[in-house]
Structure 1
Amino acid sequence: MRICQFLTSRSTLSSIRQLSTGNAKGSDVVIVSALRTPIGSFRGSLSQLSAAQMATQVIKALISQSKIKPDQIDEIIMGHILTHGGGQHPTRQAVINSGLPSSTVTSTVNKLCASGMKSIMLASGLLSLKQANIMIAGGMESMSNVPFILKRGDANYGHTQLYDALLSDGLIDAFHQIHMGNCGENTAKKYGITREDQDKFAIGSYEKSAAAAKAGLFDKEKISVTVPDKKAGTKTVSEDEEYLKVDFSKISSLRSVFQKDGTITAANASKLNDGAAACILMRAETAQEHGLNPLVKVVDYADNELDPIDFPEAPVGAIKKLLARNGINKDDVKMWEINEAFSVVPLVHVKLLDLDPSKVNIHGGAVALGHPVAASGTRIVAHLAHTLKSGEYGIAAICNGGGGSSAMLVQAL
């Protein structure tokens, strides 16, 4: 028994040492490039573009930056939730319009807010199985262009009703028929997270995002986007739009949005936004063959599900799986990117996992930058990829409606 314990211990230590070297082995899946559009406000700077059109520009930039030839990309997986009115198979649109050959395999994933991260997870699995050599994975969302819908059969004699697909298919819990914000309120009450706690966190998110933007810390991950313009024909959008719109003097006086005497407001919650993000993945040996320097290796990933109303805390379980499976202590993680669907989400993770707040969303998050829902999971992975230093671990985690979540552990190379 002691010999078995000793061997197991040595095996575990060996695995940890291999992970801590910062060197990728041939079979490791690595991210060699990760880019995103600027994030536009609702009906703002990017609203003239569909989700597929934003993704097209990101895919083109990825190919140009990496110098990978279009016909070398085997498959592209993109997360996209609110596809209404965007035309058939938006990922296929983005792929063909990017100049990739028609033989490129394409898939669109809907795991609500975790869609962009799930696409990276699926790509990583296919690469590990050697079913592909080079893949692009990401997420895209144009919340500005989600239509109102008329249910078939409702258009009878007299008046009828339009439904906002943005709400019905994106922001309303299908089981309790309540807004995601009401689930957030439930979590805040459950764990004693106050309005003041959330407002303070939101102010910090805005301040950190502004400081990071000023310091150019988003420049490596962000591309400029060409947008139709009535006067000039086209215009270029290069900057994130949302974080510039805050009025700090009004935050404490805003009314709660979802419940009377609630804690969640327009300021301490994420916004409705437009954007796309994607990354190129391959095995380390493929990167070496192409002379590419990987940003990070994908160490592990996990999902977790809870009761739908508890979705804001669902990433806690996914994170615990990652730490346990890889023999890593939470203090070994240099950066945490926990998506700010609401301020209460990262706050409850700090509380339940006893995280160092100074390591959580160090450059702000969705409260300030915005939350183009299917793109956000990719954005937070991309930010880790460009920010971590060699050998450092980072964990990105995101909750999704219905009680789900996804999390990913990466290590910088």
Structure 2
Amino acid sequence: MRDAVIVDAVRTPIGKRNGTLASVHAADLSAKVLNALVERTGIDPGTVDDVIWGCVTQIGDQSSNVGRSAVLSAGWPEHVPAVTVNRACGSSQQAVDQAAHAVMSGQYDLVVAGGVETMSRVPLGAHRTTGQPYGPGVLARYEGVEFNQGIGAELIAERWKFSRTRLDEFASASHEKAAAAIDAGVFDDHLVPVDADGTKLTTDEGLRRGTSPERLAGLKPSFKEDGVIHAGNSSQISDGAAALLVTTPERARDLGLTPIARYHTGAVSGADPVTMLLGPIPATEKALHRAGLTIDDIGVYEVNEAFAPVPLAWLAETGADPDRLNPYGGAIAVGHPLGGSGAILMTRMLARMRQGGIRYGLQTMCEGGGTANATIVELLP
């Protein structure tokens, strides 16, 4: 089995809902990061074996294999193929996993993996306007329950007895950490500025400085009248894209490139589709077991902040060190462009690993339908 390594990772700034990136088509936004990889690495795009691209709501602007449209928009040779994958919020993390698996198996030598979501143009849930995504068999199995992530987050908060104050404290800390990272220039080396209608977006747009539990206390619950989940302790609706270059150590050397990290282990898992958001817990356990590592061996954890109870429940069940969790904030502070988030989190985690000389990083995402990805990467000298 060959090693797979990540040579470079880039992302756009995350645009807020109906913000600067709302005017940019998903294929064109994707092309920005594809071409940034070419400019940064000097690779010939014609030598890329495949582009594996995550996207969740694959209708409208994001239909008809948006990954392929991205390759064409980028001006890459027509013979370069692409495929669009959907594992809900973990779609671009799944894309990275599949790229690594293809390289490790020897079927591919040079792959681009990543993803995109322009939620301003293709809203979450838009697919429901054209049919019932679950079908009679699924609805009968779960007694006609409505599969709602917000209600799932409420159920998690109730199960672990997370108070509204605790959730709002976590959300406020996400903004604080994101602001500190932006001010320190942590993201500058992997951000690709985007021009849109004469405005250049150079940093994540959704950050709300000065967010505090006291301010969040004034927001109304979003899913239950007496609930604890609201817009301020949930991920933001956003636009964004990210891309990573995956190859072998030998091919990287031939190209004159220095790998950042080795793909160590990947795992996927399923959980209750009603609660829906607990998949990262068994996925993490599975990945650690497969890797022969413990949670304490991991120096940084990126657990997607879909809703504040998700990473908090993950912490409670894994016994992980909270100081290693989401050191630069997360989706509550800067947004969650669904199909791009997995690759975005990986770029952020790699930045933290390089900055701190951290050997192992673990990334995990909760996903609609109750699935989850967990990926472990190892920093290389």
Q: For this structure pair, what is the TM-score category when the shorter chain's length is used for normalisation?
A: over 0.9
Distance 1:252 1:178 in 2: 27
Corresponding position of 2:202:
238
In structure 2, C-alpha distance between the alignment counterparts of 1:95 and 1:178, rounded to whole Å: 34
Q: Report if the CA contact (8 A) 1:117-1:378 is conserved.
A: yes
| 1-structure distance, mates of 2:218, 2:128 | 26
Give, in whole Å, the separation in 2 of the partners of 1:342 and 1:267: 9
Change (3 A) 1:297 1:401: same
Check whether the contact 1:27–1:285 (CA below 8 A) recurs between aligned residues.
no
Match of 1:49 among 7, 24, 42: 24
Tell me: CA distance 1:210–1:406, structure 2 relative to 1, closer, same or farther (3 Å).
Answer: same
Please list the CA deviations of residues 303-361 of structure 1 after superposition, one character each: whole Å capped at 9, or x if unmatched.
Answer: 01011023221111111111112221111100000000001110001000011100000
Structure 1 residue 78 corresponds to structure 2 residue 87: no
Q: Which moved more, 1:175-184 or 1:364-373?
A: 175-184
Runs ≥4 residues deviating over 4 A: 166-169, 172-175
5+ residue gaps, structure 1, are 1-25, 149-163
1:107 maps onto 2:80 in alignment: no
Q: Unpaired segments of 5 or more residues in structure 2?
A: 140-144
- Aligned 8 A contact 2:59 2:127 in 1: no
1:165 is matched with which residue: 126, 130, 137?
126
- Pairing 1:403–2:370 present: yes
Q: How many aligned residue pairs are there? A: 366
Residue 305 of structure 1 is matched in structure 2 by 270
CA distance in 2, matches of 1:146, 1:189: 32
Residues 1:251 and 1:168: Cα distance change in structure 2 (over 3 Å):
farther
More off after superposition, 398-407 vs 138-147 = 138-147
Q: What residue is the counterpart of 2:169 in the other structure?
A: 200
Match of 1:12 in 2: none
Aligned to 1:128: 104
Structure 2 residue 213 is matched with structure 1 residue 213:
no
SS of residue matched to 2:156: helix
Q: Residues 10-409 of structure 1: matches in 2 within 5 Å? A: 27-86=2-61, 87-146=63-122, 165=126, 175=139, 176-227=145-196, 229=197, 234-244=198-208, 247-248=211-212, 249-389=214-354, 390=357, 392-409=359-376
Moved more, 302-311 or 111-120: 302-311
CA distance in structure 1 between the partners assigned to 2:111 and 2:330 by the alignment: 27
CA RMSD of aligned residues (A): 1.9
Aligned residues of 1:179 and 1:258 also touching (Cα < 8 A): no
**Residues 66 and 292 in structure 1, CA contact (< 8 A), matched pair in contact too:** yes
8 Å contact kept, 1:81–1:112: yes
Deviation of residue 179 (structure 1)? 2.4
Q: CA deviation at 1:275?
A: 0.3
Deviations 1:133-152 (A, max 9, x none): 1100011000000169xxxx
Question: Residues 173 and 401 of structure 1 are in contact (CA less than 8 Å); yes or no, is this contact kept in structure 2?
Answer: no
Look at both structures and tell me which one has the larger radius of gyration over its CA atoms. Answer: 1
The whole-number CA distance in structure 2 between the counterparts of 1:386 and 1:265 is 30
Query: Mean Cα displacement is larger for which, 192-201 or 83-92?
Result: 83-92
CA, structure 1 residues 319+247, in 2 after alignment: closer, same or farther (shift >3 Å)? closer
Contact 2:118–2:337 (Cα < 8 Å) also in 1: yes
State how far apart, in whole Å, the 2-side matches of 1:180 and 1:205 are. Answer: 20
Q: Secondary structure at the match of 2:232?
A: coil
Distance 1:179 1:173 in 2: 12
Taking the aligned partners of 1:333 and 1:369, their CA distance within structure 2 comes to 24
The share of aligned pairs that are identical, in percent, is 34
CA distance in 1 between counterparts of 2:230 and 2:270 reads: 26
